[in-house]
Amino acid sequence: MNGLRAAIGVQDVMALRQQVLARSASLREVRAASEVGQTPLAFNAPTQAPGAGFADTLTTALRQVSAVQARSGDIQVAYERGEVTDIAQVMLARQEAGVAFEATLQVRNKLLTAYQDIMRMGG
């Protein structure tokens, strides 16, 4: 009986995974259609020289996150004014900004932990 439950559980998880992948693909198509002619935003590889320093890389990443959040705010304001009627575009921009912020927060937490570990080593 436990084997049957595990099999059903795995099948359910795999079916849910397929649904998530299908929705993700749909959102990417919507985003691609809405961004025709626009420049790529965050989550793309930074366009810096190979020898660029850590601070430069971090600064570029933070600027990209800021740009994503600004774009999300602009789209939301345009929606509120009635200039944008595609709610999917607004929600996608908000989700993208949220994910960018969460990723930045996680990087900050990791950097802070690493800094604290280094400071403990010296003493």
Inform me whether the pLDDT recorded for 20 exceeds 50: yes
Instruction: Report the predicted TM-score, pTM, of the whole model to 2 decimal places.
Output: 0.54
The helix-helix angle for 54-81 and 87-122 (nearest 10°) equals 150
- 4-13, 21-30, 67-76, 113-122: which has the highest mean pLDDT? 67-76
Give tens-digit pLDDT for 29-71.
Answer: 766 665 654 444 444 444 555 556 878 888 888 999 999 999 9
In sequence order, which residues have a C-beta less than 8 Å from that of residue 68 and are 6 or more positions away? 41, 42, 96, 97, 100
CA distance 93 to 70: 10
pLDDT confidence band for 6 (50 / 70 / 90): very low
Rounded (5°) CA angle 35-68-46: 90
The helix-helix angle for 2-34 and 87-122 (nearest 10°) equals 110
Give tens-digit pLDDT for 75-99.
Answer: 999 999 999 888 999 999 999 999 9
Q: What does the pLDDT average to over 95-112?
A: 92
In this predicted structure, what is the pLDDT of residue 123?
Answer: 62
In this predicted structure, what is the pLDDT of residue 84?
Answer: 86
